Amino acid sequence: MVVFKFGGASVKDADGFRNVADIIRNHQGEDSLVVVVSATGKTTNALEEVIDKKFMNTSDALKELEKIRISHQHIISSLGLDNEDTLQQLVHEHFVEAEWIIEETREMNYDYAYDQVIAIGELVSSRILEATLKSSGINTSWVDARSLIRTDETWREGRVQWNITNDQIKDTCLPLLTQRKVIVTQGFIGSTAENNTVTLGREGSDYTAAIISAALNARSMTIWKDVPGVLTGDPKVFDNVTKLDRLSFMEAIEMTYYGAKVIHPKTIQPLKNKNIPLNVRSFIEPQKDGTIIFGEIEREYPPIVVLERNQALIHFSSKDLSFIAEDHLAELFKIFDQLRIKVNLMRNTAISFTICASNQRAKIAELQKKVEQQFSVIIDPDLDLYTIRHCNETMLPKLLSEKIIILEERIRNTVQVVVKNAPDIVHKKH
């Protein structure tokens, strides 16, 4: 069997759903198919606004939710599925679930509420995809990903409990696949032992597809994107990028770890463990080969650039001028882990320690509060972090021209540079 994953860009409107249905139809053959789908277009961002508003003004939150409902209704109408009563009823129920959470007046943990509401993006889009496939005669079965993926209660970043997850996936999916059903399920969401919805972190649908692929020993997994494959840089940011036809698992892990947004960083490991090839292909040109990620053999790679925007340098220095030694670092890293602050780069001197991390103001404020007794903290916000793998010397000056270099690290042929942009060149393509 094989697993396909379609992201938000592929189902942003009715034509998108039709295109996805065509791709699925064209791949029905010897292999059985599990399809993992994300929320449509930018729905997850819109739902994040709804949740923010819930904690400020309930009626504003409901108004935002209504806009999302109307945009989905529009897609349903354009697909000619208006009279599908079951679809309409199911979609209605998902929106009602979200309304309950929004209207709940008891005090509620933000991250918990977030997961309960945000999941409806994936639930509704997968219902629409199921109905689209059915209406074009494809034998389909909708599966609730919350009955497949079991996590702990780390809201917004559920940690997968592998044994039960693998069992649930096999028990639910194998009988359906034997009946030659195309399984349609959601990315990004899972459930706790108490049946509360939990999410796997933004962009987590790729990860869901990998978890399912690994549990079912898939022959391959394919993620269908709006790019021809994995490129040497983000085409929305850099000119002159080229497609990489093949990547080793290791190179893909490194690229995504450094922030290459094309694949969620947790995706590769479960696939590598089971030796399952990952294809990255274009849903716009589905007839073309994309990138295949597989194997251990390293080849010659061209320079690959990853840009992480909106970074901050956080400088810690000991208040009593004592050396920042291993015990201090151990304490700091414990707090980073608690707050789930990902360190993208670090550097220490005798009495100071600096990290580069995503500039999440609320988290950084919390961090400051936790360490203020021991350390003075200075924040340098609004920075960009460039990571260049397989760097050659000619490209760096060009890439970094007009930028002020704040910090540079080099390990073998990977270079990381933290820079400040002049405000007027922030969005210029390279």
Q: Does 7 bind Mg ion (CB under 5 A)?
A: yes
231, interface contact from ligand ADP, Mg ion, ligand ASP, none, CB < 5-8 Å by kind: ligand ADP
Select the residue whose beta carbon is closest to ligand ADP and give its number: 7
At 214, the amino acid letter reads A
Among 260, 268, 391, 418, binds ligand ADP (CB under 6 A): 260
Among 115, 203, 251, 254, binds ligand ASP (CB under 6 A): 203
Among 94, 146, 181, 225, binds ligand ADP (CB under 6 A): 225
For the segment 104-133, give every residue that binds ligand ASP (CB under 6 A). 121
Q: Does 124 bind ligand ADP (CB under 6 A)?
A: no
User: How many of the other CB atoms lie within 10 Å of CB of 125?
Assistant: 28
DSSP 287: T
Q: Does 166 bind ligand ASP (CB under 6 A)?
A: no
> Which residue's CB is nearer to ligand ASP, number 68 or number 419?
68
Bridge partner list, 306: 387
Q: How far apart are CA 43 and CA 58, in angstroms?
A: 19
How do strand 304-318 and strand 352-358 relate by DSSP bridges?
A: antiparallel
Helices (H) and strands (E) in the chain, counts: 13, 16
Among 115, 130, 203, 251, binds Mg ion (CB under 5 A): 203
In this structure, are residues 105 and 54 in contact, taking their beta carbons and an 8 Å threshold?
A: no
- Site size toward ligand ADP (CB under 6 A) is 17
CA end-to-end distance (rounded Å), the chain: 41
Q: Would you mind telling me the total number of residues written for the chain in this entry?
A: 430
Q: Does 230 bind ligand ADP (CB under 6 A)?
A: yes
Q: How far apart are CA 34 and CA 148, in angstroms?
A: 13
Q: How far apart are CA 336 and CA 20, in angstroms?
A: 40
Q: Does 41 bind Mg ion (CB under 5 A)?
A: no
Shortest distance, position 264 Cβ to Mg ion, whole Å: 8
Q: Does 284 bind ligand ADP (CB under 6 A)?
A: no
Q: Does 187 bind ligand ASP (CB under 6 A)?
A: yes
**33: burial class by Cβ within 10 Å (0-12, 13-18, 19+)?**
buried
Residues at the contact surface with Mg ion, assessed by CB under 5 A = 7, 203
Residues at the contact surface with ligand ADP, assessed by CB under 6 A = 7-9, 38, 203, 225-227, 230-231, 233-236, 260-262
